[in-house]
């Protein structure tokens, strides 16, 4: 009797496990045809090659594997699941342009959704297409031209802050440029995104809005916690587990409430403003040019059919989306740009000469975009220090990914396509492609803005949306904010490099979190920082 009960129990348990594994998609990759693709051995059943990757600086280990196994390889992710890693431009182009068949990973979508709701970053399929269509106009060149003054004014505020610091010390000073830049980009996304001044460069900022950023920081912090919590990771794969609260979920729920309340109030105010401007026929006198207002206006535009418009909740989800996507990415890349200039004094002074040739302190977007060396410096920074160093997709159906260069599998067979099965994870190696010697030449890992003076023939096949680079990705899911952040970076560099000289202060290293962050080699425990020696620039 008890034997039968046991057998029945065991069968039930086995069945549930099988069912859960199937639902979660965890089993799929074990049946994956990636089997014969070459790649490094896996040192651990639980962690695969993940420890090697996390312990190395940014994408270096994977770039070494490319040297050993060729540009198309596989390695093992968590639980030894195969991951496809290829630098092949045609393969990556295929994955990026077929975004319907290659959606984002469930795991990262689940975590991001907690912070951003169902905003543009996490939306998939028709929902994504609908959101993108309504949102695209808000990020066009005309709109960015309209917010350039915000970028320049905030850059001047930072310059004044650093000048005050230098006056206190009476000479060159070690300044953590990252923290100042992080404040600027937060203020900028506040003003340009929602027309609210977070006032983080100015200690007497609005209390009401710090509520929003505090809540947002709780959310973003919680996102950071997840990498250590296996339980939270399991929740992403096994939805029923999500009903069980964990240590962070209460804080996240509270923060979510704040964001929803403050955000919805903001939307209602803006909606009223837009309706009023439309009614009085004063479209052009609508003062607010922030992204949120533009989005609300686009959502009301008659060119968009009623069923293709966004609900209030979807518009609300874009507020934390802009904050999450547009803040740290831009401050990190500007910090890396100053760092590169500190490493290359000749480039720094050539850039300063070009910037000083502009007669105004407050350049327009067109003034900034007309400076070729500034453009080359920004491109070179985005190439070498792409803040988002890689991303992931999975195959939603079985497919054969076409290749520009065939690979030789473990049996010595030459293959001109990669067979993937439903569920196979695929790495999009943004940084590694930006630095590929095959594409950029032997000096691929050197900072040399001059390379942009002529067209780079071998880079013409790169699938990126901007400058034949992957830094903002490509295809239907490329970064919607790339023009915004490029003009913002240029405005910051314009004001800061005209005002200061930058020198290296201490050795810096890189660590990949959600974005690539700089750390001081001897002070890893102090968190991200990028101290440079700053002195006022005095014209000879």
Q: Using the minimum distance from each CB to ligand NAG, give the nearer residue, 242 or 309.
A: 309
CB of 390 to ligand NAG, least distance (A): 13
CB of 116 to ligand HEM, least distance (A): 9
Binding part of the chain for ligand HEM, among 295-303, 397-405, 438-446, 471-479 by CB under 6 A, reads 471-479
For residue 445, the partner it binds in ligand NAG, ligand HEM, none, with Cβ less than 5 to 8 A by kind, is: ligand NAG
Question: Could you say which DSSP state residue 414 is in?
Answer: E
Spell 456-465 as b/e; 16+ CB within 10 A means b: eeebeebbbb
Structure tokens at 355: 């910037």
Assess 469 for contact with ligand HEM (CB under 6 A): no
- Distance of alpha carbon 476 from alpha carbon 129, whole angstroms: 8
For residue 365, the partner it binds in ligand HEM, ligand NAG, none, with Cβ less than 5 to 8 A by kind, is: none
Neighbours of 537 (CB within 10 A): 17
Binding site for ligand NAG (CB under 6 A): 63, 66, 267, 271, 296, 299, 306, 309-312, 315, 432, 435-437, 444-445
Q: Using the minimum distance from each CB to ligand NAG, give the nearer residue, 185 or 516.
A: 516
The binder of ligand HEM chosen from 200, 213, 299, 330 (CB under 6 A): 330
Assess 502 for contact with ligand HEM (CB under 6 A): no
**H or E element: which one contains 210?**
helix 207-225
Backbone phi, then psi, for 201, in 5-degree steps? -80, -15
Q: Using the minimum distance from each CB to ligand HEM, give the nearer residue, 110 or 472.
A: 472
Q: What is the DSSP string of 329-380?
A: HHHHHHHHHHHHHHH-HHHHHHHHHHHHTSS-SS--HHHHHT-HHHHHHHHH
Structure tokens at 470: 């992957």
CB of 268 to ligand NAG, least distance (A): 9
Q: Using the minimum distance from each CB to ligand HEM, give the nearer residue, 209 or 483.
A: 483
64-103 footprint of ligand HEM as x/- string (CB under 6 A) = ----------------------------------------
User: What Å distances lie between residue 346 and 341, 360, 442, 479, 502, CA to CA?
Assistant: 8, 24, 21, 32, 12
- Is residue 68 within 8 A of residue 388, CB to CB? The reply is no
Q: Using the minimum distance from each CB to ligand NAG, give the nearer residue, 12 or 313.
A: 313
The residue among 479, 436, 471, 483 whose CA lies nearest residue 67 is 436
For residue 94, the partner it binds in ligand HEM, ligand NAG, none, with Cβ less than 5 to 8 A by kind, is: none
Long-range contacts at 525-531 (CB < 8 A, ≥ 24 apart) = 528/178, 529/176, 529/178, 529/179, 530/176, 530/177, 530/178, 530/335, 530/336, 530/338, 530/339, 531/174, 531/175, 531/176, 531/177, 531/505, 531/506
Q: Mark residue 129 as left, alpha or beta (left: phi above 0; alpha: psi -120 to 50; beta: remaining).
A: alpha
Binding part of the chain for ligand HEM, among 84-92, 203-211, 260-268, 383-391 by CB under 6 A, reads 383-391
Q: Using the minimum distance from each CB to ligand NAG, give the nearer residue, 17 or 60.
A: 60
For residue 437, the partner it binds in ligand HEM, ligand NAG, none, with Cβ less than 5 to 8 A by kind, is: ligand NAG
For residue 480, the partner it binds in ligand HEM, ligand NAG, none, with Cβ less than 5 to 8 A by kind, is: ligand HEM
**H or E element: which one contains 460?**
none
CB of 348 to ligand NAG, least distance (A): 21
Assess 479 for contact with ligand HEM (CB under 6 A): yes
User: What Å distances lie between residue 18 and 11, 14, 230, 293, 494, CA to CA?
Assistant: 10, 6, 20, 49, 59
- Is residue 85 within 8 A of residue 70, CB to CB? The reply is no
Q: Using the minimum distance from each CB to ligand NAG, give the nearer residue, 29 or 449.
A: 449
- Is residue 134 within 8 A of residue 152, CB to CB? The reply is no
The binder of ligand HEM chosen from 91, 325, 338, 431 (CB under 6 A): 325
331-350 footprint of ligand HEM as x/- string (CB under 6 A) = --x-----------------
Q: Using the minimum distance from each CB to ligand NAG, give the nearer residue, 225 or 312.
A: 312
HEC assignment per residue over 254-297: HHHHHHHHHHHHHHHHHHHHHHHHHHCCCHHHCCCCCHHHHHHH
479 labeled part of a ligand binding site: yes
Residues 126-155 that bind ligand HEM (CB under 6 A): 132
Assess 295 for contact with ligand HEM (CB under 6 A): no
CB of 26 to ligand HEM, least distance (A): 22
Assess 308 for contact with ligand HEM (CB under 6 A): no
375 burial via Cβ count (<10 Å: 0-12, 13-18, 19+): middle
Q: Using the minimum distance from each CB to ligand HEM, give the nearer residue, 124 or 354.
A: 124
Which residue's CB atom is positioned nearest to ligand HEM? 481
Assess 473 for contact with ligand HEM (CB under 6 A): yes
- Is residue 185 within 8 A of residue 328, CB to CB? The reply is yes
- Is residue 68 within 8 A of residue 53, CB to CB? The reply is no
386-425 footprint of ligand HEM as x/- string (CB under 6 A) = -xx--x----------------------------------
For 531, what's the count of Cα atoms within 13 Å in the CB-facing half-sphere?
15
Q: Using the minimum distance from each CB to ligand NAG, give the nearer residue, 66 or 324.
A: 66
Q: Using the minimum distance from each CB to ligand HEM, give the nearer residue, 331 or 407.
A: 331
User: What Å distances lie between residue 160 and 180, 497, 536, 538, CA to CA?
Assistant: 11, 13, 11, 15
Going by the annotation, the residues of the binding site are 479
Going by the annotation, the residues of the binding site for heme are 479
Binding site for ligand HEM (CB under 6 A): 120-121, 132, 321-322, 325-326, 329-330, 333, 387-388, 391, 471-473, 477, 479-481, 484-485
């Amino acid at each position: 009797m008890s034997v039968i009960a046991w057998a029945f129990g065991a069968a039930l348990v086995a069945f549930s496990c099988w069912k859960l594994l199937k639902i979660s998609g965890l089993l799929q990759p074990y049946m994956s045809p990636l089997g014969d693709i070459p790649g490094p051995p896996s040192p651990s059943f639980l962690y695969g090659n993940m420890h090697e990757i996390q312990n190395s600086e940014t994408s270096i280990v994977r770039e070494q594997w490319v040297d050993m196994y060729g540009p198309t390889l596989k390695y093992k992710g968590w639980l030894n699941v195969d991951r496809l890693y290829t630098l092949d431009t045609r393969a990556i182009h295929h994955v990026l342009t077929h975004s319907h068949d290659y959606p984002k990973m469930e795991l990262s979508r689940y975590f991001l959704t907690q912070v951003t709701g169902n905003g543009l970053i996490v939306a998939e399929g028709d929902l994504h297409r609908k959101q993108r269509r309504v949102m695209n106009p808000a990020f066009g060149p005309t709109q960015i031209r309209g917010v350039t003054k915000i970028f320049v004014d905030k850059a001047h505020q930072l310059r004044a802050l650093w000048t005050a610091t230098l006056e206190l010390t009476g000479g060159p000073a070690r300044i953590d440029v990252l923290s100042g830049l992080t404040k600027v980009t937060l203020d900028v996304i506040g003003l340009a995104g929602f027309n609210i001044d977070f006032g983080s460069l100015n200690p007497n900022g609005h209390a009401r809005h710090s509520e929003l950023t505090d809540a947002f920081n709780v959310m973003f912090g919680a996102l950071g916690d997840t990498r250590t919590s296996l339980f939270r990771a399991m929740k992403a794969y096994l939805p029923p587990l999500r009903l069980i609260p964990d240590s962070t979920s209460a804080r996240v729920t509270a923060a979510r409430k704040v964001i929803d309340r403050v955000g919805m109030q903001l939307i209602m105010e803006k909606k009223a403003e837009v309706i009023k401007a439309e009614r009085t026929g004063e479209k052009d006198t609508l003062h607010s040019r922030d992204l949120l207002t533009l989005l609300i206006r686009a959502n009301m535009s008659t060119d968009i059919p009623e069923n293709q418009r966004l609900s209030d909740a979807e518009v609300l989800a874009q507020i934390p989306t802009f904050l999450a996507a547009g803040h740290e990415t831009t401050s990190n890349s500007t910090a890396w740009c100053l760092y590169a200039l500190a490493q290359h004094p000749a480039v720094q002074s050539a850039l300063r000469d070009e910037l000083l040739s502009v007669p105004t302190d407050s350049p327009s977007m067109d003034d900034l975009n007309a400076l070729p060396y500034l453009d080359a410096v920004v491109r070179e920074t985005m190439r070498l220090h792409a803040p988002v160093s890689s991303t992931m997709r999975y195959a939603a159906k079985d497919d054969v990914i076409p290749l520009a260069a065939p690979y030789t599998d473990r049996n010595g067979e030459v293959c001109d396509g990669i067979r993937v099965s439903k569920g196979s994870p695929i790495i999009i190696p943004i940084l590694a492609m930006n630095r590929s010697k095959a594409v950029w030449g032997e000096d691929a890992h050197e900072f040399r803005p001059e390379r942009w003076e002529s067209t780079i023939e071998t880079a013409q096949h790169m699938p990126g949306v901007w400058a034949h680079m992957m830094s903002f990705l490509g295809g239907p899911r490329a970064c919607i904010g790339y023009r915004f952040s490029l003009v913002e970076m240029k405005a910051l560099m314009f004001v800061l490099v005209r005002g200061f000289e930058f020198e290296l202060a201490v050795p810096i290293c890189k660590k990949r979190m959600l974005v690539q962050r700089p750390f001081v080699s001897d002070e890893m425990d102090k968190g991200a920082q990028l101290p440079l020696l700053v002195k006022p620039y005095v014209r000879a």
